[in-house]
């Protein structure tokens, strides 16, 4: 039974954790290389959020009984979808992003509560989170119109915070279970069971009925009609839920912190049998790079989510072949964000050793780019295969457009990733499942640029999939590929330069 002393101790720890988060945030912001860019990012974030929450309400048809009313009926499902996305993202990253890297934090008195609050604070610095949040705000504005807009958007913003906090609770719980005995197998079984349940509901035409009965309907009802008693009760309930979820997340965070990450320990302590020597320097480097990528925990988890997630959504939604061209770009962009935007950080101090080997720098670059490309192609292939299960037999034009999309976005993303890896290298330890290859604000910039370019490319080939002549897709793909290959060649020339290469190697070795 909780006593007065335990409550006092918990309150003291919470206050200390909040204060420590403030110290760590100031420490992280003090290491930002380009302060001006960070300020512009903050202004852009505020401007885009305000525009998303206000502008759609004043567009033609907003608040009417036509399409706006249809969006209002779908709003409970959209709110639940945001929660699902937040849960998947937090679970895949092992509890959310780290406010302080694992190794530096090992010598500092950073409590699991501080770690939990830091991960909660960094959760919005994710392009998927931002896009979903802006979409919800814009949908609400268009569905309701100007009347009662401010009150409704307050409810939506509170729901975004509550859903993020609930996702952290689920993520820490999964991480605590994953670190227990047979926890990895248990988490995988639960994931497969949930995917099977969703697919079964869809096949039985019961998924829409389940979505219509979601409890998020009450939140939507509470935001209607402007400021009222119902609105006040909804806001109060969300505030209470936010505080409780933020506090409750510290409990599984403490449990997970007391347990050893089994999948990470298995990789670091595992034994790998020696194989025959490759026939060339390139083959040896490709084998080494391939092992460092596929054995890393964040890469394995990330590729599973990226490959299966969009494919499962397309499978449930019965996505046609002409629209399937959007998927490879999204998967390739996400795959590059796992390590491709800072590809040389995989070497760490080993880069110093590799530079002492009698291997041409161009060969090293080719091997790393090749491994990144096959990583992205593998993820895209799994997604497309899942999406194709219910899509029927494609026409020659649809299949050609999809293949051209995979080739184009792969070359685009590899070229961008290798170029950014040489321009802004960071020393990052990717052994942790929660690590990211670059600081949060930089990751948002990278993800935005990749998402925009690959989505536009997917839309172009989506239109070409409807053209009867399949040759058109090939002709359009050629200039895309040539342009991206030219940028990749320039990135290779930059890596071959000894001064630039030394700068990159010393940066990632730090």
pLDDT digits (tens, 9 = 90+) for 231-251: 888 889 999 999 999 888 888
* Nearest of 162, 163, 170, 187 to residue 251 by alpha carbon: 170
Higher pLDDT, 116 or 199: 116
The pLDDT of residue 391? 76
Higher pLDDT, 65 or 157: 157
Among 50-64, 144-158, 481-495, which range has the highest average pLDDT? 481-495
Higher pLDDT, 179 or 101: 179
Among 181-195, 381-395, 469-483, which range has the highest average pLDDT? 469-483
* Nearest of 185, 122, 130 to residue 434 by alpha carbon: 122
The pLDDT of residue 36? 63
Model's pTM, two decimal places? 0.82
Examine the pLDDT at 1 and tell me if it is beyond 70.
no
* Nearest of 115, 99, 103, 123 to residue 16 by alpha carbon: 115
Mean pLDDT lowest among 19-28, 74-83, 116-125, 484-493: 19-28
Mean pLDDT lowest among 62-66, 264-268, 292-296: 264-268
Mean pLDDT, residues 62-76 taken together: 79
Q: Please state the φ and ψ torsions of residue 205, each to the nearest 5 degrees.
A: 60, 30
Among 1-5, 262-266, 335-339, which range has the highest average pLDDT? 335-339
Tallying the residues shown for the chain, one arrives at 510
Higher pLDDT, 461 or 207: 461
Q: Are 92 and 302 in contact (CB under 8 A)?
A: yes
The pLDDT of residue 103? 66
Mean pLDDT lowest among 131-145, 327-341, 361-375, 432-446: 432-446
Tokens matching residue 404: 């051209």
The pLDDT of residue 33? 64
Task: Provide the percentage of residues in the chain whose pLDDT is more than 70.
Answer: 92
The pLDDT of residue 358? 86
- 6 band by pLDDT with thresholds 50, 70 and 90: low
The pLDDT of residue 34? 65
The pLDDT of residue 485? 93
Mean pLDDT, residues 82-109 taken together: 76
Q: Are 413 and 376 in contact (CB under 8 A)?
A: yes
- 350 band by pLDDT with thresholds 50, 70 and 90: confident
C-alpha span between 122 and 73 (Å, rounded): 31
pLDDT digits (tens, 9 = 90+) for 14-51: 778 778 777 777 777 766 666 666 677 778 778 888 88
The pLDDT of residue 9? 61
- What long-range pairs does 469-477 form, CB within 8 A, spacing at least 24? 469/397, 470/395, 470/396, 470/397, 470/399, 470/400, 470/401, 471/400, 472/397, 473/397, 473/400, 473/401, 473/404, 474/400, 474/404, 476/404, 477/404, 477/407, 477/408
Mean pLDDT, residues 477-488 taken together: 92
C-alpha span between 194 and 371 (Å, rounded): 32
C-alpha span between 510 and 508 (Å, rounded): 5
Contacts of 240 (CB under 8 A, 6+ apart): none
The pLDDT of residue 492? 92
Arithmetic mean of pLDDT over the chain = 82
Mean pLDDT, residues 126-132 taken together: 79
The pLDDT of residue 253? 86
Mean pLDDT, residues 79-104 taken together: 78
Examine the pLDDT at 12 and tell me if it is beyond 80.
no
- 410 band by pLDDT with thresholds 50, 70 and 90: very high
């Amino acid at each position: 039974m909780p006593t007065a002393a335990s409550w006092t101790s918990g309150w003291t720890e919470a206050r200390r954790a909040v204060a420590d988060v403030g110290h760590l945030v100031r420490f992280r912001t003090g290491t930002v290389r380009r302060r001006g860019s960070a300020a512009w990012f903050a202004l852009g974030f505020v401007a885009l959020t305000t525009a998303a929450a206000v502008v759609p309400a004043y567009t033609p048809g907003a608040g009417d009984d036509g399409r706006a009313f249809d969006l209002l009926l779908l709003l409970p499902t959209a709110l639940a979808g945001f929660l699902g996305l937040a849960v998947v993202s937090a679970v895949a990253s092992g509890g959310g992003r780290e406010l302080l890297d694992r190794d530096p934090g090992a010598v500092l008195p950073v409590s699991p509560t501080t770690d939990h609050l830091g991960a909660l604070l960094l959760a919005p610095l994710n392009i998927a989170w931002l896009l979903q949040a802006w979409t919800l705000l814009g949908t609400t504005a268009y569905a309701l119109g100007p009347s009662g807009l401010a009150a409704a958007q307050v409810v939506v913003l509170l729901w975004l915070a509550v859903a993020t906090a609930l996702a952290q609770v689920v993520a820490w719980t999964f991480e605590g279970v994953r670190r227990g005995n047979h926890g990895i197998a248990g988490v995988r079984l639960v994931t497969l069971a949930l995917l099977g349940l969703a697919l079964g509901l869809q096949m039985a035409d019961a998924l829409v009925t389940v979505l219509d009965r979601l409890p998020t309907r009450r939140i939507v009802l509470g935001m209607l009609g402007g400021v009222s008693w119902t609105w006040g009760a909804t806001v109060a309930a969300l505030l209470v839920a936010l505080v409780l979820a933020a506090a409750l997340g510290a409990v599984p965070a403490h449990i997970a912190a007391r347990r050893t990450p089994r999948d990470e320990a298995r990789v670091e302590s595992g034994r790998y049998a020696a194989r025959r020597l490759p026939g060339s320097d390139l083959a040896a480097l490709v084998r080494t790079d391939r092992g460092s990528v596929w054995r890393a925990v964040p890469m394995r988890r990330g590729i599973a989510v990226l490959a299966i997630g969009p494919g499962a959504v397309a499978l449930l939604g019965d996505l046609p072949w002409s629209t399937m061209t959007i998927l490879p770009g999204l998967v390739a962009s996400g795959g590059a964000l796992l390590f491709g935007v800072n590809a040389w950080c995989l070497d760490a101090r080993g880069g110093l050793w590799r530079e002492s080997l009698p291997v041409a720098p161009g060969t090293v670059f080719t091997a790393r780019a090749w491994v990144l490309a096959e990583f992205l192609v593998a993820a895209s292939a799994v997604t497309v295969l899942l999406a194709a299960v219910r899509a029927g037999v494609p026409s020659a034009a649809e299949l050609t457009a999809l293949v051209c999309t995979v080739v184009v976005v792969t070359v685009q993303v590899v070229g961008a990733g290798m170029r950014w890896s040489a321009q802004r290298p960071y020393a990052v330890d990717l052994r942790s499942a929660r690590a990211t290859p670059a600081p949060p604000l930089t990751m948002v910039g990278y993800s935005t640029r990749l998402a925009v370019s690959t989505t536009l490319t997917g839309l172009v080939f989506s239109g070409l999939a409807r053209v009867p002549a399949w040759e058109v897709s090939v002709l359009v793909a050629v200039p895309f590929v040539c342009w991206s290959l030219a940028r990749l060649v320039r990135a290779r020339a930059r890596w071959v330069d000894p001064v630039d290469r030394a700068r990159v190697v010393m940066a990632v070795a730090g």
